[in-house]
Structure 1
Amino acid sequence: MFDLVEQDALNPAVDDTPLSLCVVETFSPHPRILYTGAKISLVAWIVSVVGMSIANTTHKSFWLAYLTHWVLVISTAYIILSVLSAVYLALHPPARSDNLDGVMGVLVKSTWALFAIAAPGQVMVTILYWTLEFDVDDEVTYVNVMTHGIVMLVIMFDGFILSRIPIRMKQFVLFESVAALYILWTIIHDYSGIGNPYADGETSTQNDDAIYESIAWKNNIDGAAIICVVALIVANPVIFMACRTLSRLLPRRLCA
Structure 2
Amino acid sequence: MRINCLIVDDEPNAVHLLTAYVRQVPYLHLVACCYDAGEALDWLRREAVDLLLLDINLPGLSGMELARTLMPRQLVIFTTAYADYAVQSYETGAVDYLLKPITPGRFLQAVSKAADRLRPLPPAPAELPGPAGDYFFVKSGKQIVRVRFDAIRYVEGLKSYVMLVTDAEKIIVYKRMQEMEALLPACFKRVHLSYIVNLDAIRSIEENHVLLPPARLPISAKYRDAFLAAIRDRSL
TM-score range, shorter chain: under 0.3
Q: Higher relative contact order by CA 8 Å / sep ≥ 6: 1 or 2?
A: 1
* Structure 1 or 2: more helix by fraction: 1
Higher strand share: 2
TM-score, length of structure 2 as denominator length:
0.25
